[in-house]
């Protein structure tokens, strides 16, 4: 995130846009606050020593391997053996960090939600600094995020949680926490929508469900133009909600 901000400051200085820098820095601070609210317990803390940080790195390696296995094979075929092999850790190390599969799955749920938000906010900070059509650009960033590996892992967990009570007991509270943080904080990164938070939330909810539907139905639609048409309808609907604010 810091590297991204340095690049943006260079770009905006070249364009002589100090106001743009101020807005971007404000969004960066808000983004960091949002991420801190859903930071996984498996992450290293600022006060941690060298050994604790090394342990945290191993946990992240295991979680990354778990995300890959979810994306490639789905939740039903999720195997501890496959994860161990992909993460290149011993079975003893795996059990040291995650005593059983349930604890690993609970940790990967937290990790997946965090990485989803982190990826979106990182991309969003970039476009806020350089794009004038912020609504279209943000919509496209969200669609890009929906097509990421992190979202694919989230989708695998969400579908499996529908019929797996143990999984749902871990998944649903984290999903609600993510939604709560998103709804409470995200509108603050769109100062243009401050006239109606209610309309912003409607636009946000509409984009979320449309993009999920587009992703799930892409193989069926099978036509790039049909996908573009749906995306254009989404954009027009969001613009109309924004116009309702500015015309009041």
> Which is more confident, 38 or 194?
38
Number of residues that this document lists for the chain? 248
How far apart CA 75 and CA 86 sit, in angstroms, is 16
The secondary structure of residue 111, as a DSSP letter, is H
pLDDT at 84: 96
> Cα separations (Å) of 238 from 69, 180, 201, 203, 217?
36, 21, 10, 5, 21
Q: What's residue 46's pLDDT?
A: 78
In the prediction, which pLDDT does 247 show? 61
Contact criterion met (CB below 8 Å) for 120 and 144: no
Percent of the chain clearing pLDDT 70 (strictly above): 87
Name the average pLDDT for the chain: 86
Domains in the chain, CATH or no CATH each: 2-189 (1.10.357.10)
Percent of the chain topping pLDDT 90:
60
DSSP conformation letters of 49-104: -HHHHHHHHHHHHHHHHHHHHHHHH-STT--HHHHHHHHT--HHHHHHH-SSHHHH
Q: What angle do CA 142, 224, 237 make, to 5 degrees?
A: 50
Spatial CB neighbours of 112, under 8 Å, sequence gap ≥ 6? 67, 150, 153, 154, 157
Say how far apart CA 134 and CA 129 lie, in whole Å: 10
pLDDT at 47: 86
- Which has the higher per-residue pLDDT, 244 or 25? 244
pLDDT(35) > 70:
yes
Q: What is the distance between the alpha carbons of residues 9 and 150, in angstroms, rounded to a whole number?
A: 28
* Rounded CA separation 9/94 (Å): 42
Q: Residue 19 has what pLDDT?
A: 52
131: DSSP letter: -
The reported pTM is 0.85
Structure-token pair, residue 178? 């993510």
In sign, the C-alpha dihedral spanning 31, 33, 35, 38 is: negative
pLDDT digits (tens, 9 = 90+) for 72-89: 999 999 999 999 999 999
Which of residues 23 and 182 earns the better pLDDT score? 182
Residue 248 above 80 pLDDT?
no
Taking the C-alpha atoms of 163, 35, 3 and 52 in order, what is their torsion angle to the nearest 10 degrees? -90
């Amino acid at each position: 995130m810091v590297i991204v901000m340095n690049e943006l400051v260079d770009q905006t200085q070249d364009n002589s846009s100090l106001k743009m820098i101020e807005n971007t820095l404000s969004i960066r601070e808000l983004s960091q606050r949002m991420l801190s609210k859903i930071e996984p317990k498996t992450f290293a803390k600022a006060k941690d020593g060298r050994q604790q940080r090394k342990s945290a790195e191993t946990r992240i390696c295991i979680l990354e391997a778990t995300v890959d296995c979810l994306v490639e094979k789905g939740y039903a075929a999720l195997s501890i053996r496959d994860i161990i092999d992909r993460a290149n850790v011993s079975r003893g190390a795996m059990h040291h960090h995650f005593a059983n599969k349930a604890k690993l799955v609970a940790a990967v749920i937290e990790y997946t939600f965090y990485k989803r938000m982190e990826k979106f906010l990182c991309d969003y900070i970039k476009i806020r600094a350089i794009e004038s059509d912020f609504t279209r650009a943000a919509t496209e960033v969200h669609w890009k995020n929906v097509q990421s590996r992190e979202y694919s892992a989230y989708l695998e967990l969400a579908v499996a949680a529908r019929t797996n009570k143990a999984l749902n007991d871990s998944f649903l509270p984290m999903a609600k926490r993510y939604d709560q943080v998103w709804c409470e904080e995200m509108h603050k990164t769109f100062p243009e929508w401050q006239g109606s938070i209610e309309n912003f939330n409607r636009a946000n909810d509409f984009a979320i469900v449309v993009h999920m539907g587009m992703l799930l139905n892409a193989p069926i639609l099978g036509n790039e133009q049909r996908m573009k048409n749906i995306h254009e309808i989404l954009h027009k609907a969001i613009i109309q909600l924004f116009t309702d604010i500015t015309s009041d």
